[in-house]
Amino acid sequence: MKFTLGSNGYGKAECRLVRVERDSARHVLTDLNVSTRLSGDLAATHLTGDNSGVLPTDSQKNTVYAFAREFGIGAIETFGIALASHFVGENEQIHRARVTIDAYSWDRVGDHSFAKTSGEVRTAVATVTEDGAWITGGLRGLTLMNTTDSEFHGFPRDRFTTLRETSERILATDVAARWRFGTLDVDWGPAYAAIRESLISAFVETYSLSLQQTLYAMGARVLEKVPEVAEVRLALPNKHHFLVDLTPFGMDNPDEVYFAADRPYGLIEGTVLRDDAPAEGWAWSS
């Protein structure tokens, strides 16, 4: 019986990195979670235990911290590309490096004081190979709600259907979005701000007959406003709010009192992409 080693890789997961810029009395705080993954000519370590081509994961962790000190961080997309390019460029046995970064937000409450009040996370994945590089950005934990202008009706019914049709409901979701850029020539900070604003404004302005309709409107708005983006992928859990029956207490409930259910929930997923998006789905450097 014969066996073959399939695709493989290794890296250092979840390197917690906090950097404080102290160039002035008004400090700048960056809070990241960085993971690395390397792949390439690594068969020997799997088949014979020969580690001569294995850059230790501890070295990868140290590189993350050293780069943060020597070069700073700046945009997380730029930081990810720099790290991934280093791993491929300095290790001939490594043909592909992927750096995944989560950036946590802190609200400034003073020149050197911060409060963590939001669960929203900005993300970036930088991938570098011997032939090129690409970036996917994203966010998660963006919670949105419309208290009206949402309906859901006209769906098929079978013998297990109990859901009532409605022309008035709360629509709420926790946005998890990923997008891929068609170029590396991007002003990352303003692009992220424009993408986030596009997601929010489309959610707010869409009179929704289904969460699917809202999803498409959100993705299309990003592509309309940010031409560097080639594709948007969205996962929108439907955070159900059910009207409470108060008739046992002799009370009416004119769409005012709801029960917020955390599970189970509908999960709506979809991709919106440009007609001329590259077939490979990645943005390659020249």
Strand 229-238 with 15-21, pairing: unpaired
Is 12 noted as a catalytic residue in this protein? yes
Strand 241-243 with 258-260, pairing: antiparallel
- Cβ-Cβ contacts under 8 Å for 178 (sequence gap 6 or more): 123, 136, 137, 138, 232, 233
Active-site annotation holder among 127, 206, 239, 240: 240
Please report the DSSP string for 92-138 in residue order: TTEEEEEEEEEEE--EEEETTEEE-----EEEEEEEEESS-EEEEEE
Is 57 noted as a catalytic residue in this protein? yes
Active-site annotation holder among 12, 36, 61, 127: 12
Is 183 noted as a catalytic residue in this protein? no
Q: Is 221 helix (H, G, I), strand (E, B) or coil?
A: helix
Active-site annotation holder among 27, 45, 57, 183: 57
Please report the DSSP string for 41-85 in residue order: S-HHHHHT---TT---HHHHHHHHHHHHHHT---SHHHHHHHHHH
What are 157's two structure tokens?
Answer: 């019914």
Q: Which residues are part of the catalytic machinery?
A: 12, 57, 240
